[in-house]
Amino acid sequence: MTRLCRIDIDGLPDPLGVLQTGKLYALSVADADLAQDLAVCAARSALAEKRRIALVTRDPAATAAALTRGGIDAVRAHRRGSLCLFGWTAQSARAARLGPAQLLDELDAFGCASDTMVWLSPANDALRWDPPRALAGFVRLYHGWARMCRSCLVLVLGEHTDGEAHAQRLAAHAPALAGLALIHGDRRDAGWETRHWAGFDAARGSHLLRMQTVGPGRLICPPDPVAETEHWRRRIREAPDREHVYVDARAAYGAAPHWQVLVDAAAVEDAAANAIAASCIFAIDDAQALRPLARRLHRLRQRCGRGVRLFVRECGYRLRIGQAQMLLTLGANAIIGADEHAPDVVAAHREQPFTRPLDVDFENALRSALPPAVGGERRVVAFAEQVCALTQQAEAAGLACALISLRFAPGTGPDEARACCRPVRNGDLFCVEPDALHLFLYACWPEHVDEALAHVLSCPIETLFDDEIRYTEPAAILAALDTLVARAAQPPPIDTATAAAPVSPAIRAVQPAPLPRKTASA
């Protein structure tokens, strides 16, 4: 059997949603609108892979409108012979003669031959559910038709009936099904529950995935970080190569006896090409090697997945904080310092998969890892706006940030604090209030804040400041920014001790102009 196409749901991992020729599949969908979106996803995938699809629905006009909203020209696809859209119910006059088996004659009449996906929604009327022997017989009939025509048939259950109960009965009485999934919820928040699917290993993947609509006829499965981490930890524990360690010869000092020392970084990458949970240690000895090493880490991470442990050891070159964060974002699990014991670092990450988000495109991933070209002092409102954007960008890239609020000690003024603060990295910003200085450090982990402050401030903190508050979580940073903006919007307090007494305005009496006198001569 060969792969025909798949249901076009972004983020749905293989082999879930993959449809093969000669197979029969069933989906239980409780929500009618969600079932319509799934039909659009199936049609989009089949047309993109130049496969024919037959949509058999109760309301062809509504399905055609859904295809149009999803960006599919149903009329043009029908004229080209790629799409067949027709209505069929078991209560029709023609179906009354042979019952549900009449559907196969209808499919043959519409030319649904080789390499065609048949999407039957709702399929509740196409099967006889009582007794179980009749149900199993009709399932075998449909499966035999799909196998003979080298097509696949997808039964969508659940509209206006108890689709989950039907799906459970199918699973119990119809072993011919190659895939069975229950779709819970509605468009806003749905879930894909896999009962079984050809090629799916329940021990290695999650059987329950979140699913939601992001546009007309477009569905995604957003990643579940907790479930994915547990999945990779399980794979690491079961992997036969979890004790293998490949190390660049330049970084091999202090290596454990069983480590495999290789001539250079290229040899390490080749040795780990098909690894599942092996460890690789690369060396960094000058700034010119930074970008090639970052590309190598990204390439190896994309090839092997999140179970491989990738380390970078400083060999005569000390990485700056921003450079280290870039390598950690692009695929490295940890940075090994020149004076650290490498076996201890490797052992500490023995069952720790790579958990940061990673773009499949290296240049996009690199841009998200590099700090933006902004820095220095900003006014309070501009500071809050830029820090909010940088915090959200860093969170999307898997980077940590820190916001430090420093209150002035008695006798310290804004000018002294401003002269003391000298950030030089891109992405580091600060603003000054009458009684405090606020410093934002981009791509700075909590354990590195003290070191970063020593570089940014030209004097010890206790010299000019008597209180310090650190915000390291994105939600806490955004909440502190809201408070900062609200305080800046308030009018400055009036100093009653030095305020001058109000002066009454001078009142000038306005005299009427004298009337002209009459003279005797007048």
Right CATH for 238-367 from 3.40.980.10, 1.10.357.10, 3.40.50.300, 3.40.50.2300: 3.40.50.2300
List beta partners, residue 253.
none
Angle ∠(393,298,325) on CA atoms, nearest 5:
45
415-465: per-residue pLDDT in tens? 999 999 998 888 899 999 999 999 999 888 888 889 889 889 988 888 889
Tokens 């659009």 correspond to what residue?
40
Instruction: Name the average pLDDT for the chain.
Output: 83
Encoding tokens for residue 301?
Answer: 């991470």
Q: Which residues have a Cβ under 8 Å from the Cβ of 70 and sit 6 or more positions away?
A: 37, 40, 43, 44, 216, 217, 218
Q: What are the start and end residues of each CATH 3.30.70 domain in the chain?
A: 371-489
Q: Taking the model in full, what pTM does it have?
A: 0.53
Which among 398, 25, 26, 29 is positioned nearest to 213, based on CA atoms? 29
In this predicted structure, what is the pLDDT of residue 501?
A: 46
Q: What are the start and end residues of each CATH 3.40.50.300 domain in the chain?
A: 3-222
The answer to whether the bond into 223 is cis (omega within 30° of 0) is no
Question: Running DSSP on this structure, what letter comes out for residue 250?
Answer: G
Which among 397, 381, 471, 473 is positioned nearest to 433, based on CA atoms? 381
Q: What are the start and end residues of each CATH 3.40.50.2300 domain in the chain?
A: 238-367
Tokens 């079961």 correspond to what residue?
238
Q: Computed from CA positions of residues 318, 321, 322, 324, in that sequence, does the dihedral angle turn out positive or negative?
A: positive
Distance between CA 443 and CA 447 in Å, rounded?
Answer: 12
Distance between CA 370 and CA 323 in Å, rounded?
Answer: 8
335-365: per-residue pLDDT in tens? 999 889 999 999 999 889 998 877 778 887 7
Contact 123/156 with Cβ under 8 angstroms?
yes
Contact 385/444 with Cβ under 8 angstroms?
no
Given this structure, which CATH class describes domain 371-489?
A: alpha beta
371-426: per-residue pLDDT in tens? 777 889 999 999 999 999 888 888 876 678 899 999 999 888 999 999 999 988 88
235-278: per-residue pLDDT in tens? 899 899 999 999 999 999 989 999 999 999 999 999 998 899 99
Superfamily for the 3-222 domain = P-loop containing nucleotide triphosphate hydrolases (3.40.50.300)
Contact 331/354 with Cβ under 8 angstroms?
yes
